[in-house]
Amino acid sequence: MKKINKESGIFSLRLMAIIFAISSLQMSAKAPNEFAIYGGGGFAAFHCQPSLRGSSSNGFVGDLGGSFTGFVSPQVGFHIGVGLGYYNIENKVNELYTFTPDLRDESNNLIFDLHTTLFDYRESHQTFYLSIPVMLHFQSNMEHSWNRRQNHDVGFYLLTGIKANVLLSRKYESSVGSLFNTAYYQYLDNWAATQKFAGLGFFDDPKKSNGTLDFGILAMFTIEAGPKWVLTNNMFLYTGFYFDYGLIDPSKGGREPVENYTYPDDLNNLPLLSYTDKMNLMTIGFKVRLAFIRNTSPYDCPRGF
């Protein structure tokens, strides 16, 4: 019995030694952690669902900040950061139509249906935000050799995850170029479209308003990829394209139904109008990162990935 216990003890010690050795190798094999500063910019728009005929959305976005990447292996790491960003987007809709039934004409006490068309509706968004990305970092494995002729000076990387955009300052402008109202009297089977004193007809006096939206947090899916360049033993340059897509509609709570703005006087204080079910922020652009590692010994930190 003692012999069996002794052999079991030796086996346990050997197993622990093997596990420790493997752990040590894994720890020594991981890439060094990186600190980086970054900047980028590109195209920004709202993706409307469902899409509306005669509508468009376009603008620009830019951001800058700092980040940290902690590697668990030569190819995989965890990436977090913080930055400041800004986007300016204009949405245009050629026509917005709405139908309001069963209104009462106070002059003759008759019921009518109101048909309203708003022409050349526009809205612009100017937003400053704080961006907090939390992503996974993948990169190619570039074996390092201290023989310069065998060094690999470029590899490829991919970042993907979630960004939390804290919307700090949210300004908007909205405008309507013209309005056209017609009324259909069912009892008379007749249309009316010339009585401007009653808000009917064509009104071509443009209306414009501006305002602000409440503080908010916008979660975005993000992916970024491109080459990673070795500049020195301690410095890398990332140059990649990125795509961000909002998971919620950032302006949904600040919009009003089109049917609430059917007469010229209503347009004097025009808000953002709700003309589609969902609007998701979408950005596509180019990003540059300058990354640094703290490397004092060639044995502590490989030059490659």
- Same domain, yes or no: 143 and 20: no
In a domain, 108, yes or no: yes
- Same domain, yes or no: 25 and 37: no
Alpha-carbon span 8 to 13, nearest angstrom: 9
User: Within a 10 A sphere around the Cβ of 189, how many other Cβ atoms?
Assistant: 7
DSSP state, residue 33: P
CATH number of the domain enclosing 39: 2.40.160.20
User: Within a 10 A sphere around the Cβ of 182, how many other Cβ atoms?
Assistant: 17
The rounded average pLDDT for each run of 10 residues, N- to C-terminus, in the chain (305 residues) is 44 42 44 94 95 93 97 94 97 96 88 96 97 96 47 86 96 96 92 91 93 94 96 94 95 91 92 94 97 64 45
In a domain, 298, yes or no: no
Query: Which three-class secondary structure state does DSSP give residue 45?
Result: strand
Q: What is the pLDDT of residue 152?
A: 63
- Same domain, yes or no: 2 and 143: no
- Same domain, yes or no: 95 and 185: yes
Alpha-carbon span 286 to 241, nearest angstrom: 4
Q: What is the pLDDT of residue 208?
A: 93
- Cα maximum dimension of the chain: 111
- Same domain, yes or no: 101 and 8: no
Q: How many domains does the chain have?
A: 2
Alpha-carbon span 178 to 117, nearest angstrom: 9
Residue-range definition of the domain harbouring residue 73: 32-292
Q: What is the pLDDT of residue 143?
A: 53
Cα-Cα-Cα-Cα torsion 86, 276, 117, 205, nearest 10 degrees, comes to: -10
Q: What is the pLDDT of residue 147?
A: 39
CA 140 to the chain's CA centroid:
27
Q: What is the pLDDT of residue 106?
A: 82
Please name the residue that has the structure tokens 């991981």: 30
- Same domain, yes or no: 161 and 266: yes
In a domain, 268, yes or no: yes
Q: Which amino acid is at 155?
A: G
Q: What is the pLDDT of residue 303?
A: 44
- Same domain, yes or no: 162 and 115: yes
- Same domain, yes or no: 216 and 188: yes
Alpha-carbon span 253 to 180, nearest angstrom: 27
- Same domain, yes or no: 80 and 22: no
- Same domain, yes or no: 104 and 239: yes
Please name the residue that has the structure tokens 């703290």: 294
